Each structure stands twice: as structure tokens, then as C-alpha cells.
Chains A and B, each alone.
Chain A
């Protein structure tokens, strides 16, 4: 079953603008990860945030996590055309099966040059 739900499903912006994608989930988590996928093939790991963390940065990426609201956001600053891709959040549940990732359906980001 799909636990993570990304919002919006699709986002189109101009180069240089910031892009914000949101993810909501339902159960207690161990960590939440964001992945990027180009052209429907392999996923690339972007960033992992643990349940006891609230914010994390990596280059132009900023991820926040609010466990009380069971939600996360991914901010990409100063977007580039090369950022065009689908972005997925994935949760690792707390408990014995914490290796399993449950993916959302993704946000398709289009950055127009």
C-alpha cells in the first residue's frame, strides 16, 4: 500500500524559482527519504531525515519533517532545467520491518528554461 502521498502531483515552474513538494504519511516512521527519478527509470537518493530531526540541508535541497503532522516537505532552491524529474518520498516504518520503504506516487516537477 502507498503510505506517502506527495502533493502536488505535478508542478511546473520557471528556472530560478523555488520548488516545494509535500509528503504526508500515516504511521510512525524511523526515517523519511526523498528520491528523484528521471524518465521512469532508476531512482536517485537525495536526502534522508530521521524521525528525531526537524530539518536537513544538502546543497540546494532543504527537507523538513513534522512528525506531529506526519508530513515532510522538500524545497529545491534556484531550480534548474536539469531538476526536471519525478520526486518521491519514502518512509521507513518504526519497528521490525524498518528496512522496507513505502513510496508515495510522486510529484512530477517541470522546470522551464
Chain B
């Protein structure tokens, strides 16, 4: 079946602009994750959604970052007033969720964000 999809695949934006990154998880996966991968920091957890529960936002680096998940499916990560240090690949993943034993995460191809 279809995997996790993300759009756009590449985004170049000017410092100070807002950007929206989109993630379509695998159908039936109740858990959705956002990660950021940058040269200096490796892969960092940003936010986690599980069903209708309150999301775990503990990884968001600042209040310029926010994310929502509508209808338990598609998710949007928004970065306001982008800074050059926001440049990174933003990866979305989904999993079946529920018990910890169903923990395999399936990743999308990522969005490469460049802030000039």
C-alpha cells in the first residue's frame, strides 16, 4: 500500500517568512511523529500525535513551531518567522500506535527546508 508522503519535497524560503509542511500518514496508523534532521544535531524528535489524545509537543524547539493533525490523519507542521537555523530536513513518520510493541515507525521522504 501507499507509504507516508510529505510535501513539498523541497522548500526554499526567506528568513522571516512562515512555512507549512504537510504529512500524509499510512492509512490506519493512529500515531504520527515529526522529526528534524540537521547536520549539527542529527535526528531530533519534535512532536507526537496519538489518536485523539493531546499531542506530546516536548520536542518543539520554540513557540515559532506548531503542528496540528486534522481528522486523525493529515498533519501540518508550521514554522513561523523562519530563521536560518531552521534549515533542515523535516521527517514525518507514522506507526500503528497503541502498545509499545507495535513501535515500528514508517518514515516519509522528508521535506528539505532551506532558509535564506
Contacts and interface: CB of A to CB of B under 8 A. Distances in A.
B43 interface: yes
Secondary structure of the A contact surface, majority rule: strand
A42 B91 contact: yes
Given A2-B42, A40-B89, A100 B107 contact: no
B103 interface: yes
B108 A33 contact: no
Contacts, number: 65
Contacts of A90: 43
A101 B45 CA distance: 7
B42 A44 contact: no
Interface in A50-96: 50, 88, 90, 92
A98 B100 CA distance: 7
Nearest to B4: A42
Interface in B44-101: 45, 48, 50, 56, 59, 89, 91, 93, 95, 97, 100-101
Interface residues of B, number: 28
A99 B98 CA distance: 9
Interface residues of A, number: 26
Contacts of A40: 37, 89, 110
B13 interface: no
Contact of B104 (A33, A98, A100, A106): A33
Contact of A42 (B33, B56, B107): B107
A2 B59 CA distance: 12
A44 B107 contact: yes
Contact of A33 (B35, B42, B56, B103): B103
Interface of B: 4, 31, 33, 35, 37, 41-43, 45, 48, 50, 56, 59, 89, 91, 93, 95, 97, 100-101, 103-110
